[in-house]
Amino acid sequence: MRKVITTALVLLLVLTYALATPLNTSAASDDASKYVTLDGEWNFKLYRKYGRMFQYFAYTGVNIVWEDNDAAILPDYETWSKWEKVSVPYDSADTGGLLPITREDGSDFFPSWSEAWFCRKFELPADFTSKETITLLLGIIDDNDVVYINGHLVAASGFIDGNGNPTLKIKETGGFDYTNADSSAQVKFEKSYWEVQREYTIPANVLNFEGENEIAIRIYNNNSFGGFYSGRPIAICGNDLAVRKVKGLPSTPVSSALFEAVVAKQKEAIESGNIELFAETVYDGYNNNGMDKEGRVAEIQEYFDKYTSINVTDTNAGYYIDDEGGYWYSAKRTITGTNKETGTEETIMDGDIEVCYILVGDAMYERGNWSRCYSVSYYSGLFDRELTYSIYLPIGYWENTSKEYPVVYLLHGINSSSSSFVNVDRIQDHMDQWISDDLIVEMIVVMPDSGKQSFYRDTAYNPQNHDGTGPWQTHITSEIREEIESKYRALKDRKFRGITGISMGGYGAMKIGTSFPDLYSSVASHMGALSEDSLNSLKSLSEELLKEYSFYLDCGLQDGMVDYQGTVKTHEYLLSKGIEHVYSLRNGGHNSAFYMEGMPYSMKMHSDHFIANGLENYGEGQFIVREPVFKDAAGNTLTKLVPSADLRASVSITNNGEAERDACLIVALYSADNSVKNISYIEGKVGAGQTYNFNAGFKLPADVTGHYVKVFVWDSISGMRPLSNAVTFE
């Protein structure tokens, strides 16, 4: 065990960070208040229905079963103001903000495979913008949309022409055009944009300032509910600062030569190929989407290994401070370099960046976002290419470094990805809330990206169909599982490993979960594409094994994508075997709103299963930090601060786990004005099955009036992750 007792300047600066004088905030040329929200009351009109407009795959034609072509023409205020009023997003938790398919009397509201208008007025002040373009944020729309402002067609999502190019050439009555002799004038369905946040750049000259404006949106509803998802901002923004404000990003500008200097230093390091210089700018406690400082530096080193003549160009750069004192640099960054092997110039990266920095005394470092829900790229040996997954980590994961967690693998549906759980469903917000409400235990949720049409099967790989063929079952059962269990503190026990799936993923969860009883013991299917194949896998389990499982099943009676009878048959089989399970066959279609309504219950099923299998006692006492004891140099116990005493704080730490753990004891003396006057600390490693006593301290001043001591137990000075609550001694 390595012992260090010192009044380390770096540690003092870290502990006084919260008391440090912030950088100067500055008056920006943009005004963050220049936005107008567009949620609330809109007017609605259904004007066309299809026998089947489109599904997840584009069709070569459409079949209109009813339409009102007069209403389909872009309406004026005199027309649309007489239409039905609806709230946007719709005020119903059951639909996630979307409009229902039918009304309570059974008549059409916004049925599957239909088109409808959403219209409203809004006013803008004379000084709304000085820009040539403004930003229109429309949240997430299910499924496709065509947007008009003051009679001008300004944006659309989900349509291509006959040449495969995005098109705005929508007919005056909407709909599609598959037969136009001019292929560039055709209007075809590209894909559903139900997962995509709409952010449109609009010419400012179509707007009326200091006056009224009209916005009209054609929304094409594919399957189940349609309209605007709740929980996303819907607004028109006059400048970039207002966009940041509406999105909830840091939007208080800050002016600082120090801040600008560290950003410039990082660019200089990248362009000069100086990895040591770059490493100097990264905080020892760096964590960005799970990557530590070593990983961040290695990421930049990869640039240097492959490229020369690297150039970094940032546009639309901004420096901001958030409400918690974090500093953020935002820019559109392009990095180019000359490939060492080919001699050609290539783009290394091109995209928006949001980089978090920390002020420590008079120095600033890149700190990372310390996110708990993010996407990870990794090399797949099975597919010999980069693949991704998203992961949710519970509150306290980064702080409770000795705790291991149960895991639920959450499988996406057809033509979807893990981003739908993160960006559309806001899985982090929901999981945090369910855990906070004590509905479920703390757990890790892993969301693999596993082939958009794979059905989670192992098949012969066809490079022409890389999203539908290949060893996708093995990807779940072996590769992803091993990736998670090697990089995260996941319990490696089938009793604490569950699997849930949506639609195609529901089939995958049931098939994989019951085919590998040595790996999983709780299974959930939301609106699953369950079949005889998945049912046969369930039937292959012995009655003894079956009793060790927990199940959740649901499907919608109006689901047009899967046959709910597959769910019914699975339910009936479990009933026949006397297996208790959670089952919900209810009104609803095939979309995010439906499965998110059921997800708290499926997560509770997993949670209850983990508890029933001993989770609350599993690893109990793995890492025990006992209360500190305070003594003087003679070994006498102190009950309060004694002037001029040689104070020593002692903490006993026991590691009952199977691996060696880092630990650090910090003792800090504060004065009445909350400034740090002295620090002592000790770092060490606690071996598996071992107990160590950590001791640190210092001589107290002659006058201790108003002074107090705080004792911290962290994993390390660089990591700063608490292993127990701080203790105050006065």
pLDDT exceeds cutoff 50 at 16: no
What integer best gives the mean pLDDT of the chain? Answer: 91
Domain count, the chain: 4
Please report the pLDDT score of residue 623 as a whole number. 65
| Same structural domain, 176 and 296 | no
Per-residue pLDDT band at 9 (split at 50, 70, 90): very low
Provide the whole-model pTM: 0.78
Q: What's the CATH code of the domain at 594? A: 3.40.50.1820
| Same structural domain, 610 and 688 | no
Q: What is the mean pLDDT of residues 260-273?
A: 98
| Same structural domain, 162 and 304 | no
DSSP SS3 for 593: helix
Angle at 335 between CA 330 and CA 337, to 5 degrees: 165
Domain-located, residue 579:
yes
pLDDT exceeds cutoff 80 at 4: no
> Looking at 602, 617, 632, which one is the last position of a domain?
617
Per-residue pLDDT band at 25 (split at 50, 70, 90): low
| Same structural domain, 361 and 466 | no
> Looking at 207, 225, 247, which one is the last position of a domain?
247
pLDDT exceeds cutoff 80 at 711: yes
Please report the pLDDT score of residue 625 as a whole number. 82
pLDDT exceeds cutoff 80 at 56: no
57-61, 162-166, 202-206, 720-724: least confidently modelled range: 57-61
pLDDT exceeds cutoff 80 at 57: no
Per-residue pLDDT band at 721 (split at 50, 70, 90): low
Domain-located, residue 12:
no
Strand boundaries in 538-602, DSSP class E: 550-556, 582-586
Domain-located, residue 566:
yes
Domain that holds residue 397: 382-617
| Same structural domain, 123 and 214 | yes
> Looking at 617, 646, 679, which one is the last position of a domain?
617
Q: What is the mean pLDDT of residues 341-347?
A: 97
Per-residue pLDDT band at 1 (split at 50, 70, 90): very low
DSSP SS3 for 77: helix
| Same structural domain, 239 and 175 | yes
Q: What's the CATH code of the domain at 626? A: 2.60.40.10
Please report the pLDDT score of residue 12 as a whole number. 40
What is the residue-wise DSSP string for 431-446? HHHHHHTTSS---EEE
CA distances from 176 to 50, 70, 144, 191, 698 (A): 11, 16, 12, 13, 78
| Same structural domain, 313 and 446 | no
Nearest to 444 by CA among 413, 474, 485, 478: 485
DSSP 57: S
Q: What's the CATH code of the domain at 238? A: 2.60.120.260
Contact, 301 vs 275, CB < 8 A?
yes
Q: What's the CATH code of the domain at 285? A: 3.10.450.50
Answer left, alpha or beta for residue 18, where phi above 0 means left and psi between -120 and 50 means alpha. Answer: alpha
pLDDT exceeds cutoff 60 at 335: yes
**What does the pLDDT look like over 628-681, one tens digit per residue?**
999 998 888 888 999 999 999 999 888 877 778 888 999 999 988 888 889 999
| Same structural domain, 442 and 295 | no
Contact, 222 vs 113, CB < 8 A?
yes
Residues 6+ apart with CB under 8 A from 542: none
User: How far is it, in rounded angstroms, from Cα 81 to Cα 214?
Assistant: 11
| Same structural domain, 433 and 404 | yes
| Same structural domain, 346 and 388 | no
Domain-located, residue 613:
yes
21-35, 207-221, 439-453, 529-543: least confidently modelled range: 21-35
pLDDT exceeds cutoff 70 at 125: yes
**What does the pLDDT look like over 160-207, one tens digit per residue?**
999 999 999 999 999 999 899 999 999 998 888 988 999 999 999 999
Q: 627-661 as b/e, with b when 16 or more CB fall inside 10 Å? A: ebebbbeeeeebeebeeebebbbbbebbbebeeeb
Per-residue pLDDT band at 2 (split at 50, 70, 90): very low
Domain-located, residue 7:
no
Per-residue pLDDT band at 6 (split at 50, 70, 90): very low
- Quick one: which H or E segment has residue 41? strand 40-50
Proportion of the chain above pLDDT 70, given as a percent: 93
User: How far is it, in rounded angstroms, from Cα 397 to Cα 416?
Assistant: 28
Domain-located, residue 18:
no
| Same structural domain, 200 and 286 | no
Domain-located, residue 120:
yes
Angle at 343 between CA 337 and CA 347, to 5 degrees: 30
Q: How would you classify the pairing of strands 690-699 and 582-586?
A: unpaired
Domain-located, residue 371:
no
Q: How would you classify the pairing of strands 676-686 and 661-670?
A: antiparallel
| Same structural domain, 233 and 273 | no
